[in-house]
Amino acid sequence: MSEFNNRIAAQREILLGVNSRNWKEDLFGLSSGAIDRWVVANKLGDESCLVNLIRQAAEKLFFLSNKSQEQVTEDYRHMSGEVSLLTDQITKAVNDFH
């Protein structure tokens, strides 16, 4: 259960960080469809550093969700650390976004 709560907390932190900026439309989730919709609604390029970071974090969180039923492995811990670093990078990218 702790891994599930950590993933949900990480997703929430990413969404809150992204949505702390006044966008035309908020990012409502980390599915590829939600990200695609947010990119189009806010007229962002897919090559944007911020978009790339969000997609990377979403992929890693998806990986972690598929591993949640397995014993926590070193790979899982490593991936969790990568999500934490990406979350920090996303927050910085949002603050630096022009």
List pLDDT tens digits, range 46-98.
Answer: 899 999 999 999 999 988 887 655 556 777 788 888 999 999 999 999 999 86
**In the chain, what is the greatest distance between 2 CA atoms, to the nearest angstrom?**
42
The Cα–Cα gap between 82 and 57 comes to 8
Domain boundaries, the chain: 2-96
C-alpha dihedral, 53 to 55 to 61 to 65, nearest 10°: -170
- For residue 92, count other CB atoms closer than 10 A to its CB: 14
CA–CA dist 48, 54 (Å, integer):
10
pTM: predicted TM-score of the whole model, two decimal places: 0.85
